[in-house]
Amino acid sequence: MQDFSNLNRKEIVEALKKESFDLLIIGGGITGAGIALDAATRGLKVLLLEQNDFASGTSSKSTKLIHGGLRYLKQFDFWLVHEIGSERAILHNLAPHIVVPDKMLLPIIQNGTYGSWLTSIGLKIYDILASVEGEDKRKMLDKEEALLKEPLLPKDILEGAGYYAEYRTDDARLTIEVIKTAVRHGAFALNYCQVREFSYTDGKISGIKAQDLLLDQELEIKTACVVNATGPWVDLTRDKMDLRPGTGKRLQLTKGVHLVFPFDKFPIKQSVYFDVPDGRMIFGIPRGKVTYVGTTDTKYTGDPEEVKTSLIDALYLISAVNHMFPDIELELNDIQSSWAGLRPLIYEEGKTAGELSRKDEIFESATGLISIAGGKLTGYRKMAERTVDLIEKRISKNEKKSLRPIQTESIYLTEDPFENYDEVIKYIKNLLPLLKTFGFDRKDVTSLVQRYGKQTESILEKFRELNNEDPEIRLAMAELWFSLQYEMVAEPLDFFERRTGRLYFNASGIEKLIRPVLLEFAKVFKWDEDSLKKQHGILENALEEIRTFK
């Protein structure tokens, strides 16, 4: 069995009391995770701290696509399309079980956003900028060919379609695997640890004071450099803790909402990127036994901790689906779950939410604090590269000689990697007979492997040891064991939402898991009755929130 035990919380906290660091990163989303991996593999001593769970903010609330940003061609943002388009193939190579191929259909409709000529030229440019090769190159389909790919499209107004390559992912799983990889290369990482204030020497940040929220311990840690990678909280972090945050660029948060429907309510055969009457475009993506739709793009000025799906958001997306797919008549009570997240974009005077650039930017404070915001999930590796390049410039010449060049383009995001996606498919096929005997189907096995890769073997070993009569509960408890043992899960919602995605993609199956999961947490963390009731309430509230819109 593989050893992932270096994400052991107590060992890490004890080690932090004795260590100092070259780099301390605040924020355990994909941006912070990417920076930790890049910096650690170059030879820096790195600590990443997250005040909630890893990936609990934007990095578990995206559209869950590693995509090239086709719509940015309309804004003539060729640089962004080139960079993130090129990154897709790299990430697929580094983690083919998490970043999986997913062909996208772009319907061409009468008076739509993209006409036939513009779609053809746009997708051609897209392929060139993103260095797409072979079978993944775009194809133009006529009306009949498009309907074969997706029979639910509107026959009366459909003229054809573009057919091109994208990649689907699990954003939270990608984040946790990047963090685990960083830890294997020497980084330290800790969730539920809140940075409370900075320490200064001669006006420059030289350390932090933090609180471990689970062990209730105060930590004082020295560091040569601090990076603020807190996403929607970047400005709040600068304003609250930095003595001289400066008056430069600020964030404009925008809200993105997604809805999840049972597959039989919205049974599209494949992913579709389609028009909305107001001129925007949204995705419809089949995933296992559900189909999800998103996203909205509206400016947000509220508390980042309180972002929710509103009734207006839900009705907007339902209306968009019903408009494009005339045989589908979705209603509010068809929604199985939803999620709402925030994009930490850079404010630009006079621009709408949809017009704001998705480019990342780095801010430097007079105290030495480095803050990074903007960007996309797909571009996390390049964002990390630019950030660590900047940190490297600060290091003295003697120290700089010992640093290695960037390596993340060739570092697999799992300890026992698949060589390619064909090997992933073969692995799923080999596991299917075993799990079929317990009532699981191909979609169940595919979901399991796309979460854990070859780490699935460790989970199945535990599955064989357990004796629960219900195979679904038994498999969930094996996954929970793995998450507790190797992925620093601290609360049940960490497990249901971010390690397994059940909260969004199998909410109906959670009810029977609540009691056994809570009892296991109580045993591991020695919870009393009050703690047990509190966590049960948190889960019930989460299940209510994903289906409630005001």
**Domain residue spans of the chain:** 5-58+172-250+357-410, 100-168+252-355, 421-545
pLDDT tens profile 501-511? 999 999 999 99
CB neighbours (10 Å) of residue 487?
23
Q: What is the pLDDT of residue 3?
A: 40
CB environment 377-397: b (16+ within 10 A), e (fewer): bbbbbbbbbbbbeebbeebee
d(CA 306, CA 8): 30
Q: How confident is the model at residue 133 (pLDDT cuts 50, 70, 90)?
A: confident
- Is the pLDDT at 353 greater than 50, yes or no? yes
On whether the CB atoms of residues 32 and 229 are closer than 8 A, the answer is yes
On whether the CB atoms of residues 387 and 48 are closer than 8 A, the answer is no
What is the residue whose two structure tokens read 């009393």?
528
Q: What is the pLDDT of residue 2?
A: 34
pLDDT tens profile 403-427? 899 999 999 999 899 999 999 999 9
d(CA 354, CA 369): 29
CATH topology of domain 5-58+172-250+357-410: FAD/NAD(P)-binding domain (3.50.50)
What is the residue whose two structure tokens read 């925030």?
342
Quick one: tokens of 324? 């494009």
Q: What are the φ and ψ backbone dihedral angles of 281, each rounded to 5 degrees?
A: -135, 145
Q: Which residue has the higher pLDDT, 347 or 428?
A: 428
- Report, as an integer, the average pLDDT of 468-491: 94
Domain 100-168+252-355: CATH architecture, name and number where available: 2-Layer Sandwich (3.30)
Q: Which residue has the higher pLDDT, 282 or 133?
A: 282
User: What's at 471, amino acid-wise?
Assistant: P
Q: In which element (H, E) is residue 164 found? A: strand 158-168
- Report, as an integer, the average pLDDT of 24-50: 97
Q: What is the pLDDT of residue 357?
A: 72
Closest CA to 259 of 305, 166, 326, 328: 328
Quick one: tokens of 272? 């579709």
User: What's at 27, amino acid-wise?
Assistant: G
- Is the pLDDT at 4 greater than 60, yes or no? no
CA–CA distances in Å: residue 37 to residues 31, 178, 184, 434:
10, 7, 9, 36
Phi-psi region of 216 (alpha: psi -120 to 50; beta: other; left: phi over 0): left
**pLDDT over 90, % of the chain:** 74
Hey, do 5-58+172-250+357-410 and 421-545 end up sharing a CATH topology, with the first three levels equal? no
Q: 421-545 domain in CATH 1.20.140.10? A: no
pLDDT tens profile 193-220? 999 999 999 999 999 999 999 988 999 9
Q: What is the pLDDT of residue 8?
A: 76
**Least confident stretch, 55-59, 73-77, 218-222:** 73-77
Q: How confident is the model at residue 73 (pLDDT cuts 50, 70, 90)?
A: low
Q: What is the pLDDT of residue 5?
A: 42
d(CA 71, CA 325): 21
